[in-house]
């Protein structure tokens, strides 16, 4: 047997490093870099060199898909003044530069569309993540009034939102569509809509927040209306050959990780998944919680509580099983063997990696080695791989 053939025979076959196809897009592997807010945008919401280097290193690091942080579709929907935007045509070109690099590395480029709703008008996290104050106003970051489904806020000491009118809802539905148009102009292959974590769309979905008595409130059909209209609007402006994802909080409450009894439920999520699928959504991105501050990861941190590995994976599994809609698992997925096991069990179709990628931009390449799919460093950029293979052949003492 030749050396090349022997090497090929030793490579393990995995689902994590197998391709996956949705519409006209083939994902080279199942690893997706999750959207992570950097709060580093230019004052006009444009991407900078910071965002280029932040996303480029994940493409070099072996991920099959790299997703932007949430791109805000209307300036009133910014979390902070540091949020990236896609509400203006001038914001397209800097994103196109990033997309071109990702494509040059053979990576699928994904954009997340976002509106923070009742969680808008805030400080950056390292400044406190509270409502903007006179301190920020003095440097030009003037507070504004957030918008939501109703006047119910997420946190009592944050700036209270006002309820959107029906006319304003219609304008935002179109703004999502225009955001999709701009994403296409920037060259993105996939759109992911952020409808989780207590942000605008989630504030309509959840009965905890939505107290409207018109067509956008009340029963499940009314509370889903805004999300479904957004999916339809995006599909009118987004090419039919390009996939559309929706990130949802599959359940509202996480006082205990097994408590699904209140607010938005996993059963509601299955209904929503079917309705979104009927409107051209291809995959459900499965997260949880956030409708109130006491149900957020930050609250867990304050309480010094620990999250379990893969704590949200069962949501992705149930939606995939009960609806037939593909899903993406996210949340405390720490290494390649864990990710591979999720796929092998049929719990999800894609794996999103966030904080672990912050600590290790080469997470995907290290996962390949841990799973035995890259014994010869061939998945690494040749400029790196030959050095690393050489060191391995030489060996290190001690």
pLDDT tens for 309-366 read 999 999 999 999 999 999 999 999 999 999 999 999 999 999 999 999 999 999 999 9
* Alpha-carbon gap, residue 281 to 301, rounded angstroms: 33
Hey, what are 177's tokens? 């569509």
* Alpha-carbon gap, residue 369 to 372, rounded angstroms: 5
* Alpha-carbon gap, residue 62 to 121, rounded angstroms: 36
Sign of CA dihedral 114, 351, 328, 111: positive
Which of these is catalytic: 39, 58, 199, 315?
199
pLDDT by residue, tens only, the chain of 398 residues: 334 444 454 577 899 999 999 999 999 999 999 999 999 999 999 999 999 999 999 999 999 999 999 999 999 999 999 999 999 999 999 999 999 999 999 999 999 999 999 999 999 999 998 999 999 999 999 999 999 999 987 777 788 999 999 999 999 999 999 999 999 999 999 999 999 999 999 999 999 999 999 999 999 999 999 999 999 999 999 999 999 999 999 999 645 444 444 689 999 999 999 999 999 999 999 999 998 865 455 555 555 567 789 999 999 999 999 999 999 999 999 999 999 999 999 999 999 999 999 999 999 999 999 999 999 999 999 999 999 888 888 887 76
Spatial neighbors of 274 by CB under 8 A, at least 6 apart, are 323, 325
* Contact yes or no for 351/328 (Cβ under 8 A): yes
Using DSSP's 3-state secondary structure scheme, residue 115 falls into coil
216 is catalytic: no
* Contact yes or no for 208/264 (Cβ under 8 A): yes
The count of other CB atoms within 10 Å of the CB of residue 226 is 26
Hey, what are 150's tokens? 């109703």
Hey, what are 145's tokens? 């009034």
CATH code matching the domain that covers 3-394, chosen among 3.20.20.70, 3.40.47.10, 1.20.1560.10, 3.40.50.40? 3.20.20.70
Place of tokens 């672990």: 356
First to last CA, the chain: 34
Hey, what are 396's tokens? 């290190």
* Contact yes or no for 344/15 (Cβ under 8 A): yes
Using DSSP's 3-state secondary structure scheme, residue 198 falls into coil
């Amino acid at each position: 047997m030749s050396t090349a053939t022997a090497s090929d025979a030793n490579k393990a076959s995995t689902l994590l490093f197998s391709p996956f196809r949705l519409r006209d897009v083939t994902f080279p592997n199942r690893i997706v870099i999750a959207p992570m807010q950097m709060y580093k945008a230019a004052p006009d919401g444009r991407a900078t060199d910071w965002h280029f280097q932040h996303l480029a290193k994940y493409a070099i690091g072996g991920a099959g898909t790299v997703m932007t942080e949430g791109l805000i579709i209307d300036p009133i929907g910014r979390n902070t003044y540091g949020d990236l935007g896609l509400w203006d045509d001038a914001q397209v070109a800097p994103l196109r530069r990033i997309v071109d690099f990702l494509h040059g590395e053979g990576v699928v480029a994904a954009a997340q569309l976002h509106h923070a709703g009742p969680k808008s008008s805030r400080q950056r996290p390292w400044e406190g993540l509270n409502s903007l104050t006179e301190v920020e106003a003095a440097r030009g970051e003037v507070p504004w009034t957030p918008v939501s489904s109703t006047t119910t806020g997420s946190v009592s000491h944050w700036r209270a939102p006002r309820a959107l009118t029906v006319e304003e809802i219609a304008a935002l539905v179109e703004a999502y569509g225009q955001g999709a148009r701009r994403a296409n102009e920037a060259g993105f292959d996939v759109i992911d809509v952020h409808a989780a974590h207590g942000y605008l769309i989630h504030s309509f979905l959840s009965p905890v927040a939505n107290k409207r008595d018109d067509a956008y409130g009340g029963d499940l059909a009314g509370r889903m209306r805004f999300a479904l209209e957004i999916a339809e609007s995006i599909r009118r402006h987004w090419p039919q050959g390009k996939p559309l994802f929706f990130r949802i909080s599959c359940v509202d409450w996480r006082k205990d990780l097994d408590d699904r009894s209140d607010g938005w439920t996993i059963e509601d999520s299955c209904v929503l998944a079917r309705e979104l699928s009927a409107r051209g959504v291809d995959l459900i991105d499965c997260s949880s919680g956030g409708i109130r501050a006491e149900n957020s990861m930050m609250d867990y941190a304050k309480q010094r509580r620990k999250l379990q590995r893969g704590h949200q994976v069962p949501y992705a599994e149930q939606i995939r099983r009960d609806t037939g809609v593909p899903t993406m698992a996210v949340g405390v997925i720490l290494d390649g063997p864990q990710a591979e096991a999720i796929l092998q069990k049929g719990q999800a179709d894609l794996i999103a990696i966030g904080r672990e990628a912050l600590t290790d931009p080469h997470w995907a390449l290290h996962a390949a080695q841990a799973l035995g799919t890259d014994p010869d460093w061939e998945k690494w950029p040749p400029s790196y791989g030959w050095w690393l293979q050489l060191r391995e052949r030489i060996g290190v003492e001690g």
